[in-house]
């Protein structure tokens, strides 16, 4: 009888520890899910803000284009356009990073894997045709894309 009690107690303890570990894993998953949702909500809000700002700046540029300008102002539109282009590129970069957050790590990994797989196939074909310079350039391009992908994941706070 004592043997059975000890056996039952040991099984109960193992089950208790296993259930506690399972609950802890589920809690960790739930926390990661909540963090992801929060990051996605913030990304959506940021995208909306950037889109509104970009729209307002575009309307301002169109308004400025339609104004009558003096001769010396007509000669300087390139500086205005360069400034506008730099600002627009900053907004587009910010929007792209927010979209990457919305895509999530899996989708980014899938996109990167597809592009890299295609480049490696071309590289292997070039290698079989003994095109050494092409192989070298493709290796550099693959490495460059891999570094950019890793930097993107690191910047966005995704695990690798």
Per-residue pLDDT of 22-32, as tens digits, reads 777 778 778 87
One-character DSSP codes across 148-160: HHHHHHHHHT---
**Residue matched to tokens 């919305």:** 102
CA dist., res. 137 & res. 123, Å (int): 9
Spatial CB neighbours of 87, under 8 Å, sequence gap ≥ 6: 57
Task: Flag whether pLDDT at 53 surpasses 60.
Answer: yes
Higher pLDDT, 158 or 48: 48
How many angstroms separate the Cα of 92 from the Cα of each of 55, 88, 95?
12, 6, 5
Q: Check residue 140 and give its pLDDT.
A: 93
Q: What token pair was written down for 32?
A: 């990661």
Domains in the chain: boundaries: 42-64+77-156
């Amino acid at each position: 009888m004592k043997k059975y009690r000890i056996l039952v107690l040991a099984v109960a303890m193992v089950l208790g520890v296993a259930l506690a570990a399972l609950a802890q894993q589920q809690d960790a998953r739930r926390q990661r899910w909540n963090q992801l949702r929060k990051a996605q909500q913030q990304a959506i809000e940021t995208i909306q803000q950037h889109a509104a700002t970009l729209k307002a700046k575009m309307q301002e540029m169109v308004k400025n284009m339609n104004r009558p300008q003096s001769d010396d102002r007509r000669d300087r539109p390139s500086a205005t356009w360069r400034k506008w282009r730099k600002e627009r590129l900053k907004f587009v970069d910010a929007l792209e990073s927010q979209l990457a957050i919305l895509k999530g790590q899996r989708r980014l990994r899938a996109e990167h894997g597809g592009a890299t797989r295609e480049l490696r196939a071309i590289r292997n074909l070039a290698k079989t045709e003994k095109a050494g310079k092409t192989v070298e350039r493709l290796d550099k391009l693959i490495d460059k894309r891999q570094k950019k992908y890793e930097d993107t994941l690191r910047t966005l706070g995704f695990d690798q």
